Structure formats: C-alpha cells, structure tokens
Amino acid sequence: MEIITEETGESPKQVQRYITLTNLIPELLQQLDDELISFNPAVELAALKENEQKELIEAMDYAQSVPSLSGTKDEETE
C-alpha cells in the first residue's frame, strides 16, 4: 500500500477506502460510476453483506431513491 500512496499522493486511509469499494455488488458499483451514489455512502454500503446490498438495490428500485451520507434522507433519482 505504501507504493500506491507514494505514486498516487493519496493517504493510506483513502487508498483503503478505494479498496473497500471492491466489495460492492456490480449494481451498486455501476451506480457509483454513474454518480448516482456518492463516494462516502458507497464506502459505507460496501461494508454490507452481498445479500444486504441486493436487498438495498431492490428497495432503492422500488422507492426510486439512492442513499445519502446521513442515511436519513434520500435523494430521488432522475
């Protein structure tokens, strides 16, 4: 990780957060790529189990919303 932090200029903590994103299911990763989910909420969602992430996707599709950082307020998708 030291080499990556030196080459990118990112802090070790930030590099670890990027690595954490690899735990996202493809649907959530795509929403991150499409900027429907912000970086910080995506890192938090990556801590969920795969089945929990799938349930979240289903709920988001049903409610047509995406999680916010606070988790208490949803932003409607366009």
Q: For residue range 39-68, what is the model confidence (pLDDT) as tens digits?
A: 999 999 999 999 999 999 999 888 887 777
What's the pLDDT band for 70 if we cut at 50, 70, 90? Answer: low
What percent of the chain stands above pLDDT 70?
87
What's the pLDDT band for 71 if we cut at 50, 70, 90? Answer: low
Question: pTM for this structure?
Answer: 0.74
- Residue 5, exposed/middle/buried by CB under 10 A (0-12, 13-18, 19+)? middle
